[in-house]
Amino acid sequence: MTVSNKVMKYEELLQFINTILQAHSLSSSHLALTAIKITLFISFECEILVQLTEAHIEIQHWRFLPTFIALFGAQTRMSGWERTLQSKKVCICYFMCSVNNLSIITVDTSNHGNHGFGATFLKANQQPALYQWLVKLKNAILAKCSLYFHTTLSQQATPGEMRSIMSKQSVDYYHKIQSFQRKHDVVAVLIVFDSRGMKDSGPGYRHSGRKSEVSEEFTVIVSCPYAFTQKPLIHWDNIQNKIRERYAELLTMDKIIYAKSLRDLCTYALYNMDPKMTLVTIYETEKQKDKERHVSTFMSNMCTQIKCNKIHESLKLAK
């Protein structure tokens, strides 16, 4: 089984990265090594990865403000790294021009003669592979954030603005859920947050001096159709009970659990996207006997993608 199907312990990963960052900081604390440290980008690499990992952990625990603070920190450092990369390219360009005794710094894409500039020069100075990987990881985490906090974000923008924002994400998870629910005419697709044992979680933020209000053990954070949460949920008690009963199985995050309700004539398909997040698909048992295959494919693909494990798996060691 690949890492894509396993539970990644991001808290442990964050601890390892912080240990590396601290060791690096202590080993290059002398002022004379500052320029070398910046040139090697080691601080940028580790700090960006720390911020992105922290953001991912906060998203998993449905903490709004800490999530966006960590994402902002990652973006700030990535912008700094990009500026450093650009300045490094300018230095290389200036050095090459000096060697060739050129009085004017130019990049001639039409002449591939003695100076070596043009398409090959530009290609040789692309962003480092690790930087590109970090951009990919950031985009994946941002798309996940946009799904988990979709309700909060949609309250701050018009429907048109929200569609525009979501279309710019690497993956529009909400649209995928919405399209699946409509295409296959399932009763509803929900994401349920298990807040048991959690503090300060929620779709917004509060003043640190205010006591947290007692919340429900389970909260529907995403619902398609949206109107499903606006009426009495006849399925809600069943869903909560099934999550409690099958909690240990759900926590393995490696299979879909099906539970049928003979009274309500429906089937609940449950699959944990994160340790505290359960994707739930509800469909009518009798009328939709052919739905199980489609439900299984949709939920498996959705959960595999949103875990972001494949992105970590794609990171290869340099040879």
Binning pLDDT at 50, 70 and 90, where does residue 33 land? low
Identify residue 300 by its one-letter amino acid code. Answer: S
Binning pLDDT at 50, 70 and 90, where does residue 206 land? low
pLDDT at 261 over 70: yes
User: For residue 185, what are the CA distances in angstroms to 178, 191, 192, 225, 277?
Assistant: 10, 17, 20, 10, 23
Please state the separation of Cα 63 from the chain's center in Å.
14
pLDDT of residue 121: 43
Average pLDDT over residues 190-208: 76
pLDDT of residue 165: 87
pLDDT of residue 94: 41
pLDDT of residue 22: 79
For the entire predicted model, the pTM comes to 0.80
Main-chain dihedrals φ then ψ at residue 88, nearest 5 degrees? -65, -40
Q: Is 104 exposed, middle or buried (0-12, 13-18, 19+ CB in 10 A)?
A: exposed
Binning pLDDT at 50, 70 and 90, where does residue 97 land? very low
33-37, 213-217, 239-243, 281-285, range with the lowest pLDDT? 33-37
pLDDT of residue 317: 65
Average pLDDT over residues 252-265: 88
Ordered strands of the 266-274 beta sheet: 218-224, 188-194, 277-284, 266-274, 257-261
pLDDT of residue 113: 43
Average pLDDT over residues 105-126: 44
β-strand pairing of 277-284 with 188-194: antiparallel
Binning pLDDT at 50, 70 and 90, where does residue 282 land? very high
Average pLDDT over residues 154-165: 89
pLDDT of residue 171: 94
Percent of the chain exceeding pLDDT 70 equals: 72
C-alpha gyration radius of the chain: 24
Question: Where do the domains of the chain lie, and which CATH numbers do they carry?
Answer: 7-98+129-171 (1.10.3450.30), 172-202+215-318 (3.30.450.240)
Residues 6+ apart with CB under 8 A from 151: 203, 221, 222
**Which of 45 and 301 is assigned the larger pLDDT?**
301
Q: How far apart are CA 49 and CA 59, in angstroms?
A: 15
pLDDT at 160 over 80: yes
Average pLDDT over residues 35-49: 70
pLDDT of residue 138: 96
100-114, 116-130, 254-268, range with the lowest pLDDT? 100-114
Give the chain's mean pLDDT.
Answer: 80
